[in-house]
Amino acid sequence: MSIKVAIVQQPPVLLELKATLDQACEALSEAAQAGAKLVMFPEAYLPGYPTWIWRLRPGGDMALGNQIHARLRENAVNIDDGGLECICDAAARHGVVVVMGLNEVDGRYSGSTLYNSVVVIGTDGQILNRHRKLMPTNPERMVWGAGDASGLRVVDTPVGRIGCLICWENYMPLARFALYAQDIELYLAPTWDCGETWLASMNHIAREGGC
């Protein structure tokens, strides 16, 4: 079976959730019109990866960091409050599977903790899985809380059995094995990383997991 996959590489409108959601829906529509059945967005796409954490000085830039973090929190996605409704509607309208990276705010319990999350949305617009990054990498812990592993799931979709790990958690052997053990077919790894080492890792994982 031949499946066309679209990987969106258009940058988000940083720290502007509404504008980034609108842009994502446009990209999704364009991909679907081109025949894509699976559309994947980058890590933390909604509303952008907090790249400042690798640039600001601990302590010295705390006031600026707090201002930016407050803006990120205001523009994070509350899934439990319907924050992905427009993306879900677009997935159903176009009949495509969507994998979306996002900054998620916990609207059920704390109301303030942010997570680096990835969701799989089915062709009926239903959220099939939400995975929160298990352990944010070094400075990322100033922004995101640790996930609880409940999202280490592989889900059935019309394009195959999909599982996701985010960025450097792909270097966790047991997290990978948890997906391999569920007969994964499409292993998706949204990341801020790049370069030859990352590509070599993805090649190895594909061989290791037979996916």
Catalytic residues: 43, 133, 167
* Tokens describing residue 157: 């979709």
Number of DSSP helices (H) and strands (E) in the chain, helices first:
5, 8
Cα–Cα distance measured from residue 169 to residue 209, given in angstroms and rounded to the nearest whole number: 15
Pairing of strands 114-121, 97-105: antiparallel
Amino acid identity of residue 164, one-letter, is C
| Contacts of residue 146, Cβ cutoff 8 Å, sequence gap at least 6 | 132, 133, 134, 135, 136
Angle at 81 between CA 80 and CA 83, to 5 degrees: 95
> Which residue reads 């990322």 in tokens?
140
Cis peptide before 47 (omega within 30 of 0): yes
> Is the dihedral angle over the CA atoms 69, 70, 74, 80 positive or is it negative?
positive
Buried b (16+ CB within 10 A) or exposed e, 138-159: eebeebbbebeeebbbbbebeb
Cα–Cα distance measured from residue 211 to residue 209, given in angstroms and rounded to the nearest whole number: 5
